[in-house]
Amino acid sequence: MKKKCLPIWRRKMSEYNRASVIRYYRKQRNMTQEELAEGICDTYTLSRYENGTLNPSEENYQRIMNKLEMSEETILFNLQTEDVNIAKVRNRLLWLFERGDYQGAENEIEEIISKNQLPLMYVENRQFLYRIRLVVENNSGKLDLVNYILSLEKLLRESFKDYDSEKFVNKYFYTENELLILNNLAIAYGEAGKYETACRIFSSVIQQMEKVSYMDGYKPYYLLMVNYANILGLHQQYDESIEMCRKGISWLLKWEKGNCLYNFIYNIGWNYIEKSKRFSGEESLRLRKIGLLYIWEAYELCELYPERKENLEHIKKYFEKNQIIHF
């Protein structure tokens, strides 16, 4: 008997929270709140479930999902496979990729495909594997920027049919793969000189994630914020970049993700130092001193996490380059 594909790498409900799920699938079914609430709870209670002011009990949540003809497996899968050991394979691929071992990542992708561990008939699997492959090829110089952007756009349109970078309209609900592709696209648009396009995508997607409240403790939200802050700073929007970094710090502290704090703190310092170059005299000196304090704090935080050691030298060099004698 043919085995059913197993939904793995599932999002927890803290990542796609229940308010967003209920609201999204009710609208997908063209149901009113009154229709969905009937036999389960009153309309006011359902409204509170959907706006996040009240968490449904497990019993009511399951009854709502049953009425919507949905299951957690239907909602939460991100990869499709028959291989029960795929989590180890996925984690190894991400480990190689995130540490810049591009040859190792390419080899891992080829092995996954050759063994059919992630069948390419599923769009989720294609987007997961091909996004990593495209980033690897671009970073290693095998794929130029123009074709990199075109390939990412084509990959995104496999699930986001109406995607148009110049007339960008948000989806209501994004998968993790779609968010990561959008993040890579926005970075690439910035590198290609399409600053307004990049900012429009970063800003719109971040706002949409916040509006539907499914970014709680969710890594793509962090990536979008930090890269949006980067591009704002690189285009001399220093105050806006600092504001985004402070927002990111608050979010990281809320979700106890201290290992990423140094990135936002370094960016704040960088923005202050670069902003100081617009001034002279005491104001320039004041801004530079503030920036150096942030840079040094970022260095000390980075030292606490062994997996971040590769960034220590970069932070140290930037600090030394901008040191003030007798500071």
Print pLDDT tens along the chain (327 aa). 333 333 333 333 333 456 767 877 788 788 999 999 999 999 999 998 887 778 788 788 888 988 987 654 444 346 666 665 777 888 899 989 988 899 999 999 999 999 988 888 888 889 999 999 999 999 999 999 999 999 999 999 998 888 999 888 887 678 888 999 999 999 999 999 999 999 999 999 998 888 765 555 567 889 999 999 999 999 999 999 999 999 999 989 988 888 889 999 999 999 999 999 999 999 999 999 999 999 999 999 999 886 667 788 899 999 999 987 544
CATH number for 6-75 (one of 2.40.30.10, 3.90.198.10, 1.25.40.20, 1.10.260.40): it is 1.10.260.40
CA distance 230 to 244: 9
Classified as helix, coil or strand, 196 is helix
Residue 281 region by backbone torsions, left for phi larger than 0, else alpha for psi between -120 and 50, else beta: left
Element (H, E) at 303: helix 281-303
Structure tokens at 87: 């989590």
CA distance 171 to 107: 34
DSSP 212-277: HT--TT-HHHHHHHHHHHHHHHHTT-HHHHHHHHHHHHHHHHHTT-GGGHHHHHHHHHHHHHHHHT
Amino acid at 104: G
DSSP 8-state assignment for residue 108: H
Structure tokens at 323: 């040191």
Whole-model pTM: value is 0.75
Structure tokens at 271: 């923005």
DSSP 12-35: PTTTS-HHHHHHHHHHHTT--HHH
